[in-house]
Amino acid sequence: MMKKTLDCLLISPSTICRDDENIWKEINSNFPPLGLASLAGYIRNKDFSVKIIDSNIECPYIEDFQHFLKEKYYRRFSDIKLIGITAITCTIKKALKLAEICKKFYPNALVAFGGVHTTFVTEEVIKNKFVDVAILGEGEITLHELLLGKEPSKIRGICYKKFDTTTNKHTIVTNTSRERINNLDVLPMPAYDLLPISKYRPAKGSYKRLPAMSMMTSRGCPGKCTFCSKTLGNKLFFRSAKKILEEIEYLIDKYKIKEILFYDDTFTVNKKNVLELCDLIIQKHIDITWTCFARVDFINLEMLKKMKQAGCHQIMYGVENIDEIVLKNIKKKINIEQIIQAIQWTKKVGIECRLAFMVGNPGDTKEIILKNISFINKVNPDLLVVNITTPFPGTEMFAWAKEKNLILTYDWNDYTLAKPVMRLENLSAEEIKEFYKLMYKKFYLRPSFIIKKLLKIKSINDVKILFGGCKAIFAFLGFSR
């Protein structure tokens, strides 16, 4: 069989690690690379051929990737024009190894890196000999121009290597930034058909029905939190309620999706859009259940009632901490009254409340963390998520910690939200790890929590979800080993 040429191969490195301290390993969830699906949908709409490799599903371990690429792609495609690899901080080392392997089989391919880590640690990435171009920020238009073969100096939003004939060396050139896409409705449907849809699973406890699929309805975040990377800045752009509904209906019709997980940083910022989407779901009798993320200062009782009516069954609020000084340190800009009010409203309308906290914030002490544990148990959310505060590159917190010489390691593999990578004045790394587990233990091993969950069982599916969640928590806390 004659080999073909592929215009573009997009790769998402595996996030799977063998870190026994990471609860996400036990929860065993996997999410689709929505960013790559959007890129693929866009360039395919411009008549370029494209494939996606989601390593989490297709090839979880880096040592198997060479064989995988050879069997699945090299035997089929004689040439690939552009290989795009995305990376977050904890996957950048894997991503660079993938680039090396890809160059071995396709030495003439243009290897372009994108994603949050590339955007903020650009020089480190572009200096790698297997990387040709770094795409900064939004990638759809930039990727298209690269595929068209446009002169690199004329492509906005990239960093690239330029060969200097006078010195016989490469120099690094960073072009002016690209303007963002302010009308997201012009983007075509993400290329869901290029993903192994049936194999994706949300985190245990975060869904009601399967199959489920993640969606993004906006880009940007209005928050000023010091721990958050602003890949696309603070300005928000939204897809219209009509376009969101079209995508939901597509997923239902083509893949029989029963649940949507909206992964916007703050789904409820645009109140008008949320209410319009809810009205459309209700009016059209769409059989869908869904969850979302929200801030406690961007919610109200009216919106919650409508969301519940439209199928929302769970909201995760990023609380992070309840101490006023700590909240000020991380610029969360919320207060305990707003936190309590949001929890009460959410429970009142019958939506499950999932709270997210961080341990190891600047200003944290043993007493403050214990106060947080007491508060969590008092307000009694349905679920709790705890992460270790991590100063990712590109964040205000990273710049602050680096200036104060507080960074414990620059090994990006450790930036998993499950390991302390920042030194604190009042807490050692070991203490932070202990409190990380203690917060989970004090919440999930309460008899009242277990009884509450047992009383809510209404089906075999509820039993499966509860059993899976309990198994994950017990494994994480070391009870099943």
- Each residue of 85-108: b (16+ CB within 10 Å) or e? bbbbbbbbebbbbbbebbbeebee
Contacts of 169 (CB under 8 A, 6+ apart): 163
CA distance 42 to 134: 19
Q: What is the dihedral of CA 474, 18, 425, 223, to 10 degrees?
A: -90
3-state helix, strand, coil in the chain (%, to 5): 45, 20, 40
C-alpha to C-alpha distance for 318 and 218, rounded to whole angstroms: 18
Distance CA 217, CA 293 (A): 12
Paired residues of 174 in beta bridges: 159
pTM value is: 0.93
Reference 212, options 413, 5, 415, 30; nearest CA is 30
- Determine contact, residues 143/39, Cβ cutoff 8 Å: yes
Domain ranges of the chain: 4-174, 202-444
Q: Which amino acid is at 420?
A: P
Residue 191 neighbours by CB under 8 Å, 6+ apart: 37, 40, 41, 44, 50, 52
Beta pairing, strands 383-388 & 77-86: unpaired
β-pairing, 4-12 with 50-54? Answer: parallel
From residue 79, give the alpha-carbon distance in Å to each of 3, 82, 202, 224, 468. Answer: 8, 9, 35, 44, 44
CA distance 48 to 71: 23
Question: Do the Cβ atoms of 218 and 180 come closer than 8 Å?
Answer: no
Q: How far apart are CA 177 and CA 136, in angstroms?
A: 8
CA 427/CA 447 separation, integer angstroms: 30
Amino acid at 62: I
Superfamily name and number for 4-174: Response regulator (3.40.50.2300)
For residue 2, the model assigns a pLDDT of 59
H or E segment at 169?
Answer: strand 169-174
CA–CA dist 142, 346 (Å, integer): 41
The predicted structure's pLDDT at residue 471: 65
**Type of residue found at 336:** I
Of 79, 62, 63, 75, the C-alpha closest to 11 is 62
Checking DSSP bridges between strand 237-238 and strand 218-219, what pairing results, if any?
antiparallel
Distance of CA 354 to the CA centre of its chain: 17
Going by C-alpha positions, the residue among 388, 379, 314 that lies closest to residue 353 is 314
Q: In a structure prediction context, what are the per-residue pLDDT tens digits for the chain, which is 481 residues long?
A: 557 899 999 999 998 765 545 555 555 578 899 999 999 999 999 999 999 999 999 999 999 999 999 999 999 999 999 999 999 999 999 999 999 999 999 999 999 999 999 999 999 999 999 999 999 999 999 999 999 999 999 999 999 998 877 787 889 999 999 999 999 999 999 999 999 999 998 887 888 999 999 999 999 888 889 999 876 667 889 999 999 999 999 999 999 999 999 999 889 999 999 999 999 999 999 999 999 999 999 999 999 999 999 999 999 999 999 999 999 999 999 999 999 999 999 999 999 999 999 999 999 999 999 999 999 999 999 999 999 999 999 999 999 999 999 999 999 999 999 999 999 989 999 999 999 999 999 999 998 888 887 877 777 766 666 666 666 666 667 665 4
Omega cis (within 30) before 211: yes
Query: Do 319 and 356 touch, CB atoms closer than 8 A?
Result: yes
Q: What is the DSSP string of 63-80?
A: GGHHHHHIIIIITTEEEE
Query: In CATH, which superfamily holds the domain spanning 202-444?
Result: Aldolase class I (3.20.20.70)
Q: Residues of 42-81 as b/e, b for ≥16 C-beta within 10 angstroms?
A: bbbeeebebbbbbbbbbbeebeebbebbeeebbeebeebb
What local confidence, expressed as pLDDT, does residue 470 receive?
67
CA 52, CA 84: separation in Å to the nearest integer?
9
User: What's the rounded Cα separation, in Å, for the pair 182 and 178?
Assistant: 12
At 208, list the tokens.
């009601």
Residues β-bridged to residue 422: 407
Positive or negative CA dihedral for 226, 230, 233, 238?
negative
Name residue 296's amino acid. Answer: V
